[in-house]
Structure 1
Amino acid sequence: MSFGADLGYEDRPGRRPPDPRATRVWWLAPAAIGWLGAGVVLLTLGVVARRPDVVAIGVPLLLGLAWGTSRRPQLVPVVRLTGDDQPTGSTGSTGTVEAEVEVAPAEQPTVIALRVRAPGHRAAEALVVAERRTLGVSMRTVRTGRRALFGLSHRAVGADGLLSTVSAGDRPLTMTILPSARALEDLPLSFRLQGLTGPHTSRRAGSGGDLHDVAVFAPGDRLRRIDWRVTARLNTAPSTPGPGAPRGAAIDRLYVRRTFATADATVMLVIDSRDQVGPRVSTWGDATRLREDETTSLDVARHAAISLARQYLSAGDRVGLEDLGRLRRPAPPAGGRRQLQLLTQQLALAEPEGEPTRRQRIPRLPSGALIVVFSTFLDDDAAAMARTWRRAGHRVLAVDTLPTLLISGIPERLYVAYRIVAMERTDRLQQLAGAGVETLAWMDQTTDPGVRLTALGQLRGRR
């Protein structure tokens, strides 16, 4: 974490500071207590020993202390930590989060000792003059979601060092780090497209661009669909040819060109926010030990889900969201930029809420939708739901969000437990593949997920 720039702070003029009025009071600083003790001791020794020179040394200390405390200011400087709820620039590869420390001075010159702390970083300290200013602080993180990132403690000291305030700390600054999205190309679609118009070609005849077949004109067909060349070629010649017979063929049937109709896809993103594990297996039992440079499984799920949502929505499809960690109504499928903002907000707020609650019923999702499940599959719940949806006729894509694991250096007992969990997880993924659920590892080191999604996007037939 960095505190301002260069010499420890960065002035940003033009910002309106907070109200300088406060209820905090001034107290004797450690230096003043030293003056008081030294003055009393010297004065006592001088009187007892009848040494006027010693008394002359102690009296100025007491007089200076009395003069300094008599000019005690009524107000103290106000320091406040502020920041945007959704800071810009926090998404993407940089992962830099910024906040600001606003300072309002008192009526007399003072000095403020600042200490800004952030999770996973050493605290940054600075000693600044209490002037009307705004200081910038920043930290780097790869984590996403709504989290408490910055904490501030401060203490004001008078110009003579005799008076100071008690160290005060504000509540941590809570900020929402939105997940970033990567560029994707072709994506898989559902087995059955819906709607009367859309960006994709469906399997039924209708108003579209690709040729379906040529058929005899029937009631309801549009006249502009008549193919006159095919009509002239397929109509029969006159049955009584002769000198008096009319020229040309008798047109008794009209033929029209039928095309494939266009439609859009319905996609339901199902995120499993019941647990959040990091790359180090030793931290699976304690989420507080996760570092800011470690991407968790929930961070991977948010990144993968928003990447797919942005691509589907940009293509004109409808996307919804279901969170297995919350017993709430899912976000219904919709399209447009507003839907992307809604999904981004809900994905950023998805986090474990205490002990996972087991669902008694499988969530009901729109008929014919493509269901994409984002989970670590460390238990049977998400895998069982995926198999149920597949048996109901949906096309289901299981995205493995487990990050690249670091298992070196862990105790043998913990390694044995990890191996048991890993084997059970491998069996679940194999059972999903056997049930017709297409699987994809988002953090696979050998295959790029975009390439795998492109390959799945070329498969449209029902399996």
Structure 2
Amino acid sequence: MNGWAPTPALGRATVVAAVGLVGAALTGSPALVVMASSFVLPVLMGLLGGPDVDPRIVPRLGLVRLHEGQGTTSTLEIVDGDAVEQVTRVQTRAAYVATVPASGAMAVPMDRADARVIALTPRRWGRRNVGDEQVALTSAWCGYRWGPERMPAQQLTVWPQAAAYDSTAEAPQPDGLVGAHRSRRVGSGTEFAGIRPFGPGDRLRRISWPVSLRTGELQVVTTRAEQDASVLVVVDALRDIGVSGGVDGRASSLDLTVRAASALSDHHIRRGDRVGLRVVGPRDVRVPLGSGPRHLHRLTGTLARVLPDTSPMTADSLELGVTGDCIVYVLSTMLHAPLVAATALLSARGVSVVVIDTLGERAMDEIGGPTSAAGLAWRMRILERSSLLDRLAALGCPVVTWRGPGTVDEVLRQQQQRQQLPRVRNR
């Protein structure tokens, strides 16, 4: 409906007032005059307050990018709305978006401070279409109504929750220029490496005078270089196991994967490392190595657009395409043989690979109980998965369960010690 139109209430009041006055004139009954007069005043006020200018409604979102669990507002800006007395909004419920009011429907006076405002709180990462609603405006004394008019939906980008994560372990193979990780090579740093005789090009401030006086010749202190590391985060989006309950509810496997990838990326970016991303799923998304807040924004935005693959698995092989010294975090449920094989191949090539299990705890009641057909199939699949994980561990590829801060500390320390030993790489 476009433009202002009389409301059914105004039509009913007009008919009742007219019938009452005509009946009073024909019968001469004062009672009918009294009854009809109570409808005449609202009719006259509604007709006199009829608007002559069509309003224009502009929906606005307070924030279009935010983390899951944070809040924003959906506000209506009404232009040329001087004649509007009441605003009615009925908003379509979006998946994983909580609203205040909970029903998404409100009818409030125009002059109220909280008029035209609906609070939105996304409960899960991803892209959410919000603001798909119908809006109706009513003039004074409920005389005329404008609408209902459908407002177009707006897209809200919800980033994964910034989970608390920290790690005290250093990268086993730092390969950059400047960073916070101790390198095996000698360079300009703060970690003591040894003392050697003074040579051409050595800085005078590196001279160790106590040792030089004791030995009779100049000796200098050598230190280890401090470098940044290259980190590749591999996200398994081939399937989403379980049902997501939002940021405060039970997490599906893809929830754990995306939130863990966001936490790892944030941690390494803040330490000055270069981080890349590979999403294995319906769309093969690759984000090259980079550093800095702007790159972290790009990584988080890419994770918010991850969609699980719902097509049948057809690929027999998978190549992750990792070259050089790089730490690779594979965040996966480890339920698909091609990804397991690609991970084992990287580990055999000497790449520092850490598999982070994001399957989580799955109750058998979710799939019909342990004795149902689905339950028996799931138990068999878990047995096959356990065999695959044991074979990965036998190849020297550690598998850890995501548990938040300190998840990969121990395995990184073990890999750092292993890097000190001679090794043979398979090319």
TM-score class, shorter-chain normalisation, is 0.7 to 0.9
* Compared CA separation, residues 440 and 170, structure 1 to 2 (3 A): farther
- Kindly state the Cα deviation for residue 344 of structure 1 after the two structures are TM-superposed: 2.0
Name the SS for the 2:418 alignment partner. Answer: coil
Is 2:410 the counterpart of 1:455?
yes
Which deviates more, 217-226 or 410-419?
217-226
Alignment equivalent of 1:115, drawn from 62, 87, 90: 90
Cα distance in 1 for residues equivalent to 2:163 and 2:310: 28
- Kindly state the Cα deviation for residue 394 of structure 1 after the two structures are TM-superposed: 0.7
AA matched with 1:184: D
- Once the two structures are superposed, the pairs formed by residues 61-80 of structure 1 within 5 Å of their partners are 72-80=50-58
Is 2:351 the counterpart of 1:394?
yes
AA matched with 2:156: M
Gaps of at least 5 residues in structure 1 are 1-22, 236-250, 281-289, 443-447
Identical aligned residues as a percent: 25
- Kindly state the Cα deviation for residue 361 of structure 1 after the two structures are TM-superposed: 5.4
The size of the alignment, in residue pairs, is 401
* Compared CA separation, residues 64 and 175, structure 1 to 2 (3 A): closer
Cα distance in 2 for residues equivalent to 1:332 and 1:206: 28
Q: Tell me what 1:206 maps to.
A: 187
TM-score, length basis structure 1: 0.71
Name the SS for the 1:461 alignment partner. Answer: helix
* Compared CA separation, residues 99 and 189, structure 1 to 2 (3 A): same
Q: Deviations over 1:182-215 (max 9, x none)?
A: 131314523x321344322222233333343444
Cα distance in 1 for residues equivalent to 2:137 and 2:120: 25
Name the SS for the 1:309 alignment partner. Answer: helix
Alignment equivalent of 2:394, drawn from 434, 448, 458: 434
* Compared CA separation, residues 358 and 371, structure 1 to 2 (3 A): farther
Alignment equivalent of 2:324, drawn from 349, 367, 387: 367
Which deviates more, 366-375 or 58-67?
58-67
Q: Tell me what 2:233 maps to.
A: 269
- Kindly state the Cα deviation for residue 65 of structure 1 after the two structures are TM-superposed: 7.2
Cα distance in 2 for residues equivalent to 1:35 and 1:370: 77
- Once the two structures are superposed, the pairs formed by residues 23-102 of structure 1 within 5 Å of their partners are 24-32=2-10, 34=12, 72-87=50-65, 90-91=67-68, 95-102=69-76
Q: Tell me what 2:342 maps to.
A: 385
Is 2:269 the counterpart of 1:313?
yes
Cα distance in 2 for residues equivalent to 1:327 and 1:366: 22
Cα distance in 2 for residues equivalent to 1:201 and 1:326: 38
Alignment equivalent of 1:185, drawn from 147, 167, 179: 167
Name the SS for the 1:450 alignment partner. Answer: coil
User: Are the equivalent residues in 1 in contact too, given 2:49–2:83 (CA < 8 A)?
Assistant: no
Alignment equivalent of 2:108, drawn from 103, 112, 128: 128
Name the SS for the 1:331 alignment partner. Answer: strand
Q: Tell me what 2:424 maps to.
A: none
Is 2:116 the counterpart of 1:142?
no
* Compared CA separation, residues 410 and 297, structure 1 to 2 (3 A): closer
- Kindly state the Cα deviation for residue 175 of structure 1 after the two structures are TM-superposed: 1.0
AA matched with 2:137: A
Cα distance in 1 for residues equivalent to 2:270 and 2:84: 57
Alignment equivalent of 1:424, drawn from 384, 388, 391: 384
- Kindly state the Cα deviation for residue 292 of structure 1 after the two structures are TM-superposed: 6.9
Name the SS for the 1:398 alignment partner. Answer: strand
Name the SS for the 1:143 alignment partner. Answer: coil
- Kindly state the Cα deviation for residue 84 of structure 1 after the two structures are TM-superposed: 4.0
- Kindly state the Cα deviation for residue 369 of structure 1 after the two structures are TM-superposed: 0.2
Name the SS for the 1:106 alignment partner. Answer: coil
Q: Which has the larger radius of gyration?
A: 1
Name the SS for the 2:71 alignment partner. Answer: strand
* Compared CA separation, residues 35 and 209, structure 1 to 2 (3 A): closer
- Kindly state the Cα deviation for residue 168 of structure 1 after the two structures are TM-superposed: 2.6
Name the SS for the 1:27 alignment partner. Answer: strand
AA matched with 1:172: A
- Kindly state the Cα deviation for residue 315 of structure 1 after the two structures are TM-superposed: 2.2
User: Are the equivalent residues in 2 in contact too, given 1:141–1:293 (CA < 8 A)?
Assistant: no
- Kindly state the Cα deviation for residue 221 of structure 1 after the two structures are TM-superposed: 5.0
* Compared CA separation, residues 136 and 267, structure 1 to 2 (3 A): same
* Compared CA separation, residues 257 and 125, structure 1 to 2 (3 A): closer
User: Are the equivalent residues in 2 in contact too, given 1:188–1:453 (CA < 8 A)?
Assistant: no
- Kindly state the Cα deviation for residue 390 of structure 1 after the two structures are TM-superposed: 1.2
User: Are the equivalent residues in 2 in contact too, given 1:208–1:261 (CA < 8 A)?
Assistant: yes
Cα distance in 2 for residues equivalent to 1:264 and 1:173: 40
AA matched with 1:124: G
Name the SS for the 2:142 alignment partner. Answer: coil
Name the SS for the 2:307 alignment partner. Answer: coil
AA matched with 1:114: R
Q: RMSD across aligned C-alpha pairs, in angstroms?
A: 4.0
AA matched with 1:338: R
Cα distance in 2 for residues equivalent to 1:291 and 1:320: 27
Cα distance in 2 for residues equivalent to 1:409 and 1:300: 18
User: Are the equivalent residues in 1 in contact too, given 2:176–2:230 (CA < 8 A)?
Assistant: no
Cα distance in 2 for residues equivalent to 1:425 and 1:213: 47
Q: Tell me what 1:348 maps to.
A: 304
Name the SS for the 1:432 alignment partner. Answer: helix
Q: Deviations over 1:110-142 (max 9, x none)?
A: 322222343355523222223496543224443
Q: Deviations over 1:55-114 (max 9, x none)?
A: x889998999799679753434444432145455x45xxx14221322425342432222
Q: Tell me what 2:423 maps to.
A: none
Name the SS for the 1:458 alignment partner. Answer: helix
